[in-house]
Every structure is written in C-alpha cells, then in structure tokens.
Amino acid sequence: MKKVIHQKLPNKQWNEREKLRDKGQFWTPDWVAEAMVAYVSHDADLIFDPGVGMGAFYTALKKVTPRRMFFGIDIDPEVISQAKEKGIFDRNAQLEMRDFILNPPQKLFKAIVANPPYIRHHRLSQEQKDQFRKISLLNIGDTLDGRAGLHIYFLIQALSLLDKSGRLAFIMPADTCEGVFSKKLWNWISKKFCIDGVITFDQKATPFPGVDTNAVIFLIRNARPQEKLKWGRCLEPQSRGLFEFLKNDLLDDNFDDLEIYNRSLEEALSVGLSRKPLEDHHFEFTLADFARVMRGIATGANEFFFLTKEQAKNLQIPEKFFLPAIGRTRDAEESFITEETIKRLEEKGRPTLLFFPNGVKWEDLPESVKSYIQEGEKSGLAKRALISTRQPWYKMEVREVPMFLFAYLGRRNARFIKNEAGIVPLTGFLCVYPRSNDKEFIEKLWQVLQHPSTISNLQLVGKSYGSGAIKVEPRSLEKLPINSTLVKEFDLHPAKRELTLFA
C-alpha cells in the first residue's frame, strides 16, 4: 500500500502526507466547522476544542457567534505556533500545549467541538494504549477492541468532560459506528447521553476530498437519552442547509442540500449510525445460516510464496509443491474463476502458484525446493512477524478450496465469485463455504448471493470509505442479511448451525 502511494506522489508531498498521518492533522473546512460550532455554542460561554490544530473551530466561532470564549489544546507545539503566527487566536482564545489523552483538563465544559486525530493504531505509543484501557474501563466499565483508534478515546474522554446539558459535536470517520468495537461504544453513549443528531456526507460532499474516509458528525448532549434522533445526509459541499439545520437546533427539516430523517434510536443503532434508515431491520436470516466465512490465506511474503508459472519453471520446483491460487481482486473481475481465468493470468505473467511444501519432511524435499527455502531464510524471511510464528517458517497456512469467494475491498463493486477452478485465494478475498455440499443447495445459494438485494445489503455490514468502497470482515459477512422473500423463493433451508459448525 505504502509503496504504491510512494510511487505516485513526489517525495516532498509524500513526506508531508506521512507527517500529517503521524499526527492525524486534517483540518476541518469552514462550512463544516461553522455548522458544528453553531450547534455546540447554543447556551455556552466557553467552547473547548481538545485538538485545536490551526484553529478551524475558533475561526468558525468568531464568524458564527463572536465574542464567545474559546479554550483549545494541542499536543503539537509547531502547529500551535503556526496558528498564532497567522493571527488566528485573539484575546478571547486561550491555548495550551497539552496531551488530551494523557493529561486532560480537570474541569467540565458546556460545549466541546472536535475533529479528533485519526491515527492508525500501529502508530500509537504503548503509553497511549495503556491510557486507552484506563479511559474505557473508567467510563464504559469495559475495554474496547484494539482496533479502536485515538479518535475513539478522544470521544470517550470528551464525553466524560461534558457538563450537564452540555453539547458535543465531533466529526469522525465512519468506523466509529462500523468498527468491531462500536456496539460497546454506542451502547454506553446511548444509555448515558442524548444523541441529538448524526450527519453523514454524500461522496461528492465529502469534507475531506482526497482522504479516503467517510466522515460522520455526531451531535450529542449530556441529557436524558431520547427515543428519536435526527439523521441527515449532506448532498452538496458548502451546504447552507447543514449550517441552518445545526444552528436551529435540528428543528427545521426542509433543505435542498440536506436529506433529513427522523429515526428511532433503536433502529439507528441496530442498522448503524453511518447508514441510512432501514424500516425492516429485524432480519430473519443472515449468511451464517447458509455458509461460513474465513479470510483468504496470508502468506506473510507474497514475493516469496506466490509465484508466476515462469518463476516456478525457472526454479525447477515440481508442480506438486504448488497450489493454484489467486491474489488480487483485480485478477478476478468476473463472477466466475475458471481454468480459463487462470490461463489468462498466466499469460499476463501474473502469479497463480502458491508455494506449498507442507507435509513433506525436509530430507524428502527435492534439492530445488531445499535451496529455494534456504535462499528465503538467508534473506531474513523467517524472522518476519507473521512467518516467524509458523513451524517450520515456510509452512503455508491451510484453507479448504472454497466454493465461493468474496472480493471484499474494491473501489468497484464488492461481490461474490464462484470458484470453478479449485483455487485458494490470498487475503484480497474471503472464502465462503456453503453449509451443505448438496449440489442443489449450492446452486440456489449462488443465485441468492448474486441477487441485487443481497449485494445491496452489504452496506449494512461493511465498513465504508470515502471513495464509496466497502470493506467487509469475515465475521461481518456472516451477518449479511439475506432477505426472507429470497430464501422462500429459492426454497433455501438454513442449515442447523450447531451441527455443521466446524473450524
């Protein structure tokens, strides 16, 4: 992933972008900042921003409700001094250099507004991660999955500093309500606070063009939870409706550039706050009733384990040490993978062979295989993170040949593929195993998997990205709703899971 971007961006731009990524510094555009500030500043004399950056929210505040006090903190001295130099902050603004996670202010606020840093968890320090644990235990009474990033703890910490009847507006990536941790998080928030509204953005109205994230604004009050909330979808950039809606306490609901729905909290939480309302959300059947799902094979080093026919020939490794495999979603663009598909890939020089020396003792391996393994060892492969957990290191992960694949992260349609070539997939795909080997069952399931209503339900279980791509994890794909009318139409009987669950 990194390599690809590196090739496309000139060096200076690449470094700048990486610097931003390390610090999670993506500035909020004025039309969004003004709307958010209009919502929180309703009854408040002082507005707090826990990650002030270049002061987007203070700039907005000066325009929307001048003469309010502002308190901003940021961990990055460079960014604070740049903002000061630019003259963004005047005497109504107090600034502090401070870490909001490790050293939050010891007071409550009537208004908190933020675009919290979005930093991938592998870029965070151990000290920060230890603090995350403490924050979630203290507030939620439980820990959250390790994939919850810094922005999630910004939200929890900020909510814990929200005064009675105080308001909070946070703009966050959609993973906040789509991630594996989100059920626990929203369970806590929805029981303790009043979720007034949620704003999402149409792809063409994204507040962060060029950043592959699907942004969502959460508008929350420290008040008794209510059964209804307002859910909006912003259709145009620079939307005036967004500002008016938030300024008028989410009361009006007639704007050209903003779609607004009144949703029940129960439905919104069940479907997911980043997703459109869905009246019938009590699904009788999910994919797990008919199939089980596993991710594709992670080799740990595709350049060594995943070879082209040509490479295999040059290395003189016998055919029986390979499994036919497919790596990239782009290598399977149609609904079927057949012998023909594999032949075409071979002709294009794409790798199609997975090195699979499993089950043969070292002394029984042919010289060509031994020397290939020794070469890999010399180049330090055995020490790589995933590979070093294997015994011996060159032993490949095992997957039964799946009947269906699911291409789960693509800018084009996510979709199911029928595997008629007996291949195993790498991690670009998920493996889908029908719960019965009965031919008729498999054929019916295949019809159901391709049905537009099944494909459209993917957005209910997937993680959405700015570009419109959806990523679906194996456990989430098992939760994919299958419409009961389809189940009836195809007379598809759900298998008794308890009896057929293996693995």
Ligand X SMILES: C[S@@+](CC[C@H](N)C(=O)[O-])C[C@H]1O[C@@H](n2cnc3c(N)ncnc32)[C@H](O)[C@@H]1O
- Residues near ligand X, by CB under 6 A: 23-28, 49-54, 56-57, 73-76, 79, 99-101, 115, 117
Q: How far apart are CB 264 and ligand X at their closest, in Å?
A: 31
Q: How far apart are CB 265 and ligand X at their closest, in Å?
A: 27
Which is nearest to 404 in space by CA: 430, 381, 432? Answer: 432
What sign has the CA pseudo-torsion 483, 413, 119, 476? positive
Q: How far apart are CB 40 and ligand X at their closest, in Å?
A: 13
What sign has the CA pseudo-torsion 6, 9, 15, 16? negative
What is the token pair recorded at 34? 């003004």
Is the Cβ of residue 23 or residue 418 nearer to ligand X in the bound state? 23
The Cβ of residue 182 has, within 10 Å, a number of other Cβ atoms equal to 23
Q: How far apart are CB 112 and ligand X at their closest, in Å?
A: 11
Is the Cβ of residue 70 or residue 393 nearer to ligand X in the bound state? 70
Q: How far apart are CB 208 and ligand X at their closest, in Å?
A: 9
Q: How far apart are CB 124 and ligand X at their closest, in Å?
A: 10
Q: Which residue has the tokens 């409550």?
A: 108
Cα separation of 503 and 498, whole Å? 12
Residues 6 or more apart whose Cβ sits within 8 Å of residue 112: 40, 47, 48, 49, 50, 158, 161, 162, 166, 167, 168, 169, 170
Q: How far apart are CB 192 and ligand X at their closest, in Å?
A: 23
Q: What angle do CA 272, 273, 277 make, to 5 degrees?
A: 75
Is the Cβ of residue 57 or residue 186 nearer to ligand X in the bound state? 57
Q: How far apart are CB 245 and ligand X at their closest, in Å?
A: 20
Which is nearest to 458 in space by CA: 418, 420, 430? Answer: 430
Is the Cβ of residue 106 or residue 485 nearer to ligand X in the bound state? 106
Q: How far apart are CB 217 and ligand X at their closest, in Å?
A: 12
Instruction: Determine if the peptide bond prior to 351 is cis (ω within 30°).
Output: no
Cα separation of 109 and 45, whole Å? 10
Q: How far apart are CB 52 and ligand X at their closest, in Å?
A: 5
Dihedral over alpha carbons 334, 340, 342, 348 (to 10 degrees): -90
3 state SS of 253 = coil
Cα separation of 255 and 239, whole Å? 9
Which is nearest to 306 in space by CA: 341, 340, 350? Answer: 350
Is the Cβ of residue 16 or residue 420 nearer to ligand X in the bound state? 16
Q: Which residue has the tokens 């009733």?
A: 289
Is the Cβ of residue 14 or residue 27 nearer to ligand X in the bound state? 27
Q: How far apart are CB 103 and ligand X at their closest, in Å?
A: 8
| Pairing assessment for the beta strands 415-419 and 69-74 based on DSSP bridges | unpaired
Is the Cβ of residue 102 or residue 137 nearer to ligand X in the bound state? 102
Is the Cβ of residue 199 or residue 260 nearer to ligand X in the bound state? 199
From the DSSP assignment, how many helices (H) and strands (E) are in the chain? 20, 23
What is the phi/psi pair of residue 495, to 5°? -75, 155
Residues 6 or more apart whose Cβ sits within 8 Å of residue 497: 288, 289, 435
Is the Cβ of residue 105 or residue 410 nearer to ligand X in the bound state? 105
Q: Are 154 and 117 in contact (CB under 8 A)?
A: yes
What is the token pair recorded at 116? 């919290």
Is the Cβ of residue 97 or residue 386 nearer to ligand X in the bound state? 97
Is the Cβ of residue 47 or residue 369 nearer to ligand X in the bound state? 47
Q: How far apart are CB 82 and ligand X at their closest, in Å?
A: 10
Is the Cβ of residue 83 or residue 269 nearer to ligand X in the bound state? 83
Q: How far apart are CB 114 and ligand X at their closest, in Å?
A: 6
Is the Cβ of residue 217 or residue 432 nearer to ligand X in the bound state? 217
Residues 6 or more apart whose Cβ sits within 8 Å of residue 264: 227, 228
What is the phi/psi pair of residue 366, to 5°? -65, 155
